[in-house]
Structure 1
Amino acid sequence: MKLSMMLLLTITTPVMASSPSLSVFQHSQILTDFELESMKGKYTNNGQDYYFGLQMQTQFIQDNGTQQQVGMQIEFAQVDNQPLISITISDPNVIDSQNGFQLDTLGQAAGLQQRIQIAGDENLAVNEFDMAQGRLTPMLQGINIAVGTTLVSDNSNTTFSANANTIGYQVQLASGKASQGISYQDGNGQLVQSIFINGLSHGVINQSTIRYDGMPVGPIQSNILGRQISDLTAIGF
């Protein structure tokens, strides 16, 4: 009987755990902002205001000598912890369209993707990309378009998309096509610049410009694109 009571008392008596040792932190140091900026990831304060803008422009010359330019601008900002998005296109004469398009991506790799494919003579094709701190200037004579729309120009050669998986535009050339935009699929975000030419005497220049403000980026600039595309998807894309 006494043995049973002793065993019972032993089982029901709580074991007091010893306090964890903090000696491992004795020689630790606070990382500087420069060191944090060089790491993969995003370090922002809760509710911090920031800005991300992408401007895309395509200048092209058809084989008949006709010169044109199209453009699209996407601005995403968080102000007072509220997300704001604005999408502007350069063509005021557009109509609704049910015929969307899908950007040509190179597999599932995230980040910037540039593609040029040419068959023919006397053609020019250039993809340019620039990224820096600052803000975009408003697009001249641009019009705002709503999220979830697909529009086509009055001459039917340019389609603008602001849909779930594609934000950008595609230009039909006399013998080919040119496109720029953001593609988001299977968890990967891509900024795509693509030119296909199959003919003579075409000239195409794709230019993409990214501007950001309110966040430290440092030497990891290329990672900001994927992060901000993720922010776009969080509000409906």
Structure 2
Amino acid sequence: MHFFYHAGRYFSLLTKVFSKPERHKVYVKRLFSEIDALGVNTVGLVVIISIFMGGIITLQVAYNMQNPFLPSYLIGLGNRDTLILEFSSTILGLILAGKIGSNITSEIGSMRVTEQIDSLEIMGVNPASYLILPKIVAVVFIFPFLYVISVFFGLIGGLLVGPGVGAITAAEYLNGVQYLFNPHYVGFSMVKSLVFGFLVSSIPAYFGYFVEGGAFEVGAASTRAVVTTNILILIWDLILTQLLM
């Protein structure tokens, strides 16, 4: 029953969020502000994590393929497919749920407990649409770009680390990266990125919008938002994999 209660309030909130905006110019201005705050400021974290993970995946594949009968280019291929199919979409989504999701919950939750949302309602503004819609659009828009950036720098990380420690030559690694490339994998993960972007923005916004109490409750709501978002990302990863692969 608890689940259905939250699900009902969540979809009711989304109805308000996607209602017709009152002033489009204000929404456009807020959209670019949210893209900068939630997307652009996340690029550095994505680059650093992807470089290290690309290097780690390359080493792990190399050390588990020390067999003369296995071609060395499979190391680059393994890193490429791992990044494209799972890390740069699902695992990165789980990581960004902590950074972006907690940011959204704490911001909206703080506005709720300080009665700023109530003030917007008194002024005749739709607070759900005004506060949440730009965040959802911004995160859904920026997630596919973060996915591409993650794949690129993950491959760079493998290229730096693999030849750097002598696990594989640069030529063999690059040959593996190009070997049997399947564009469907990228399209599949792009769809996942869009879905995960929606979850990472809408679920934390829900928890922040309906928080009650003070600063402690805002912190607890942020934790619940991140945990719930991570669970839903894994569930939707399973569903999308079954449907699209």
Q: TM-score, normalised by structure 2?
A: 0.24
Rg larger for: 1
Which structure has greater helix proportion?
A: 2
Question: 1 or 2 for the larger relative contact order (CA 8 Å, sep ≥6)?
Answer: 2
Which structure has greater strand proportion?
A: 1
